[in-house]
């Protein structure tokens, strides 16, 4: 890639995420082929592409849900390729899922409590949290951030779709995230909910970078500074939002895929 | 529904006051009944029915913890219990000058520790598998242990096993006396029950249930799900070992037959029969099992115990996958629903 390359060792941590030749196959299907990607720390990036382009697979490779079959992944300079998923999360990586992955038998607060505990001490604690337990307080704070405080004791199974998406984001913000992968957070949201989502994303602390997969260009291009287009498991194009919006190839591949 | 916040104090009054307030009448009645039970019954009912229910319930409780909270059906819980029993004989000594003859306060903790360690190893081996494979691996462990003790004379005394195993005197209390033994079993079963119930809403238990429901999501929250599962095996192993200790004292002997395939399956039947959604289930299952075990012969004559328990098991599980607990829930819901007779209440 045509970026300026300063001294290698020092520059490493300037990138939140560095992918080198990352590929992932499912049997004969090559869902990701030879992806080289760099995202600076604090950068906010959109990944666009038609259905089946490999966007979610890219996220799965980065988090370790489905580790890459070849290639290397660095997270803030550290090679995490061979680390299990939970170790990557403990280093500050977070994600949301395209279809909400929540604990339906538990309440909103419990879901957030688990998210907080997952990246702090006391995962194996036999003691029930007390009122001023720090994880519980952090979970309550997170509820405030995603505006769900009034739903604290509501079971997830009783939440509306939009509220589940909101909670999914809250789960990703728990602890001290350094970089977040949002997989179509706006999918199925009403326009008011979309506006709220954009507010939440824009209000994230500046040092937290993220990649957002989003079919809705109105959302995607409004919150990010740079875009990557994927096509058939490979990187296809990169550019600033306004360039991407005008690009005829993108119009054809992406918008022609039934969205927009 | 489990919640970390259930029963989390929001007020600042004392623990005791809270405890008293959270007591329901049926809890009080149940505790009172369990306490006076041996006083109104006699030796056979106290030990054969009462103590045995508590013991088998405790071993099945360890399976309930694994299967109910952790989604891991392990068939080797009785094997763990049996190993604890065997080690009590090996370390503490048995009749005929067998065993090492260590003093009880060394032999018993060592026996529990060995069994718990073994359970942890079984956990390490089995947590990488799911569902039916977990059942098969743990069954294989159980069968291997059975054949090992059957053939090994140096440690396990082969098919003869050990006899003359009696509980020690603790602080001058004679545990061999029926009522004392019953109360000792009640204390351990009560400890196990409260522990498992309490854990259901502690971070460890909450996470274990979440791992059962969505392991992938738990990994993406930073939990080491294998470690969580192994820890559950260790804890369940500890409970099973406590049950095994009581069982060997009640029977006074242990031999390969005590850890054969039939008793292995019995623990599964007890847990499923009672219900694995709540720690009270295994004890209900154990009571039914023990009553049938003792009275099936009088009721129908002959050696029909297995047929009867099998049929009852089939009927209950057919009507309610959650065992007797599930039946009770259905029954209660129906009672609540009757006076309303509205459409909405049926569609929930
Ligand atoms: N676990 C899996 N097993 C087998 N094939 C998979 C798996 N995950 C993804 N694939 C395949 O990899 C390809 C890329 O899928 P992916 O989910 O990454 O697409 P996507 O860009 O996220 O699409 P969408 O916009 O529909 O979410 C698809 O052909 C999909 O069928
Ligand atoms: Mg996708």
Q: Residue B30 falls within a domain, yes or no?
A: no
Section B192-198 average pLDDT: 96
Q: Residue B1 falls within a domain, yes or no?
A: no
Q: Residue B325 falls within a domain, yes or no?
A: yes
Contact A74/B at CB under 8 A: no
Candidate of A25, A56, A257 to mutate for ligand 1, largest count of ligand atoms within 8 Å of Cβ = A56
Q: Which domain holds residue B253?
A: 41-347
Q: For residue range B144-160, list pLDDT tens digits in order.
A: 999 999 999 889 998 99
- Specify the DSSP class assigned to residue B99: S
Q: Are A17 and A213 in contact (CB under 8 A)?
A: no
Q: Residue B24 falls within a domain, yes or no?
A: no
Closest among B3, B225, B219 to A136, alpha carbons compared: B3
* H or E segment and range at residue A241: helix A241-246
Domain boundaries, chain A: 13-92+176-260, 102-174
For ligand 1, atom 5, name the residue with the nearest CA: A26
Q: For residue range B91-109, list pLDDT tens digits in order.
A: 998 888 888 888 989 999 9
pLDDT of residue B347: 34
CATH of residue B71: 1.10.3470
Contact A97/B at CB under 8 A: yes
Section A28-50 average pLDDT: 93
Q: Is residue A100 over pLDDT 70?
A: yes
Section A104-113 average pLDDT: 94
- What's the CA-to-centroid distance between A107 and ligand 2, angstroms? 27
What's the pLDDT band for A244 if we cut at 50, 70, 90? confident
Identify the residue with better confidence: A88 or B41: A88
Residue A130, both tokens? 């007390």
- What's the CA-to-centroid distance between B15 and ligand 2, angstroms? 50
E-only strand ranges, B121-274? 162-163, 169-170, 173-174, 253-254
Average pLDDT value over all residues in chain B: 87
Q: For residue range B282-313, list pLDDT tens digits in order.
A: 999 999 999 988 887 777 766 677 777 888 88
Helices B77-92 and B104-126: angle between axes, nearest 10 degrees: 150
pLDDT of residue B168: 85
Residue A248, both tokens? 């005829």
% of chain A with per-residue pLDDT over 70: 92
Q: For residue range A186-233, list pLDDT tens digits in order.
A: 988 999 999 999 999 999 999 999 999 998 887 888 889 999 999 999
* Long-range contacts of residues B92-98, Cβ cutoff 8 Å, at least 24 apart: B92/B165, B94/B162, B94/B163, B94/B164, B94/B165, B95/B162, B95/B163, B95/B164, B96/B163, B96/B164, B98/B157, B98/B162
Residue A166, both tokens? 């909101």
Whether the CA torsion B244, B245, B246, B247 is positive or negative: it is positive
Section A118-129 average pLDDT: 91
Q: Are B317 and B272 in contact (CB under 8 A)?
A: yes
What's the pLDDT band for B14 if we cut at 50, 70, 90? low
Which chain B residues are closer than 8 Å to A129 by Cβ? 4, 8, 203
* Long-range contacts of residues B87-90, Cβ cutoff 8 Å, at least 24 apart: B87/B111, B87/B114, B87/B115, B88/B165, B88/B245, B88/B248, B89/B161, B89/B162, B89/B165, B89/B248, B89/B254, B90/B155, B90/B156, B90/B162
Residue B330 to chain A, least CA–CA distance (Å)? 19
d(CA B32, CA B27): 8
d(CA A10, CA B292): 74
Which chain A residues are closer than 8 Å to B228 by Cβ? 123-124
Residue B293 to chain A, least CA–CA distance (Å)? 36
Section B51-62 average pLDDT: 98
pTM of the model: 0.89
d(CA B161, CA A76): 61
> How do A78-79 and A234-239 pair as beta strands?
unpaired
Residue A257, both tokens? 């895929």
ipTM attached to this prediction: 0.89
Residue B20, both tokens? 């008293």
Q: Residue B54 falls within a domain, yes or no?
A: yes
Q: Residue B28 falls within a domain, yes or no?
A: no
Pocket of ligand 1, beta carbon within 6 A: A 26, 29, 31, 49, 51-57, 66, 98
d(CA A212, CA A44): 8
- What's the CA-to-centroid distance between A54 and ligand 1, angstroms? 5
User: What is the distance between the terminal CA atoms of chain A, rounded to a whole angstrom?
Assistant: 30
Residue A88, both tokens? 């990557």
Residue B300, both tokens? 């129908």
% of chain B with per-residue pLDDT over 70: 89
- What's the CA-to-centroid distance between A98 and ligand 2, angstroms? 6
> Hey, is B8 helix, strand or coil?
coil
What's the pLDDT band for B4 if we cut at 50, 70, 90? low
What's the pLDDT band for A5 if we cut at 50, 70, 90? very low
Letter string b/e over residues A93-119, b meaning 16 or more CB atoms within 10 A of that residue's CB: bbbbbeebbbbeebbbbbbbbbbbbbb
Residue A36, both tokens? 């080289």
Identify the residue with better confidence: B336 or A257: B336
Query: Among partner residues B201, B207, B214, which is closest to A123 by beta-carbon distance?
Result: B207
Q: Residue B31 falls within a domain, yes or no?
A: no
- Specify the DSSP class assigned to residue A141: H
Q: Write the CA distances from A207 to A38, A70, A197, A211, integer angstroms.
A: 16, 30, 19, 13
Contact A179/B at CB under 8 A: no
pLDDT of residue A3: 47
Q: Residue B8 falls within a domain, yes or no?
A: no
CATH for A13-92+176-260, options being 3.40.630.30, 3.40.50.300, 2.130.10.10, 3.30.70.920: 3.40.50.300
pLDDT of residue B245: 96
């Amino acid at each position: 890639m045509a970026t300026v390359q300063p001294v290698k060792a020092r520059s490493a941590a300037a990138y939140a995420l560095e992918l080198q030749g990352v590929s992932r196959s499912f049997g004969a299907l090559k869902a990701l082929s030879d992806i080289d990607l760099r995202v600076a720390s604090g950068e906010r990036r959109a990944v666009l592409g038609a259905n089946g382009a490999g966007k979610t697979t890219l996220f799965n490779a980065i988090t370790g849900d489905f580790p890459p079959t070849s290639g290397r992944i660095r997270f803030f300079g550290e090679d995490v390729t061979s680390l299990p998923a939970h170790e990557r999360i403990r280093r500050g990586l977070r994600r949301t899922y395209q279809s909400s992955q929540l604990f339906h038998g538990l309440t909103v607060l419990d879901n957030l409590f688990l998210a907080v505990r997952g990246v702090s001490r006391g995962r194996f604690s036999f003691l029930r949290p007390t009122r001023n337990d720090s994880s519980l307080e952090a979970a309550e704070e997170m509820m405030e951030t995603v505006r769900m405080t009034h739903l604290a004791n509501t079971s997830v199974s009783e939440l509306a779709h939009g509220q589940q998406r909101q909670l999914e984001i809250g789960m990703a913000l728990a602890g001290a995230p350094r970089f977040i992968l949002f997989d179509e957070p706006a999918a199925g949201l009403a326009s008011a909910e979309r506006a709220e989502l954009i507010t939440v994303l824009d209000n994230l602390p500046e040092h937290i970078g993220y990649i957002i997969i989003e079919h809705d260009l109105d959302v995607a291009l409004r919150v990010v500074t740079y875009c990557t287009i994927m096509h058939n498991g490979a990187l296809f194009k990169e550019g600033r939002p306004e360039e991407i919006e005008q690009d005829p190839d993108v119009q054809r591949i992406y918008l022609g895929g039934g969205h927009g | 529904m489990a919640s970390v916040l259930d029963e989390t104090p929001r007020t600042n009054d004392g623990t005791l006051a809270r405890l008293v307030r959270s007591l329901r009448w049926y809890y009080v009645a149940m505790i009172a009944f369990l306490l006076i039970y041996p006083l109104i019954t006699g030796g056979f009912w106290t030990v054969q029915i009462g103590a045995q229910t508590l013991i088998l319930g405790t071993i099945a409780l360890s399976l309930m913890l694994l299967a109910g909270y952790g989604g891991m059906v392990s068939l080797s819980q009785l094997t763990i219990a049996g190993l604890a029993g065997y080690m009590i004989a090996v370390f503490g000594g048995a009749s005929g000058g067998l065993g090492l003859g260590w003093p009880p306060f060394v032999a018993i903790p060592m026996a529990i520790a060995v069994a718990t360690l073994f359970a942890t190893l079984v956990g390490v081996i089995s947590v990488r598998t799911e569902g039916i494979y977990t059942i098969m691996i743990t069954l294989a462990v159980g069968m291997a242990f059975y054949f090992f003790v059957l053939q090994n004379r140096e440690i396990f005394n082969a098919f003869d096993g050990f006899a003359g195993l009696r509980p020690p005197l603790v602080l001058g209390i004679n545990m061999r006396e029926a009522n004392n033994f019953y109360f000792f079993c009640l204390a351990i079963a009560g400890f196990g029950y409260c522990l498992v119930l309490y854990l259901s809403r502690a971070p460890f238990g909450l996470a274990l249930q979440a791992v059962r429901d969505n392991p992938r999501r738990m990994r993406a929250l930073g939990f080491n799900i294998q470690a969580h599962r192994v820890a559950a095996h260790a804890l369940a192993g500890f409970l099973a070992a406590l049950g095994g200790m009581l069982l060997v004292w009640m029977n006074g002997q242990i031999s390969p037959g005590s850890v054969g395939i039939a008793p292995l399956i019995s623990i599964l039947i007890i847990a499923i029969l009672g219900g694995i959604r709540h720690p009270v289930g295994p004890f209900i299952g154990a009571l039914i099992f023990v009553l049938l075990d003792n009275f099936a012969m009088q009721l129908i004559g002959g050696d029909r115990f297995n047929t009867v328990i099998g049929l009852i098991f089939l009927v209950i599980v057919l009507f309610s996958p959650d065992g007797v607990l599930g039946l009770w829930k259905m029954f209660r819901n129906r009672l609540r629903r009757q006076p309303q007779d509205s459409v909405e209440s049926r569609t929930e």
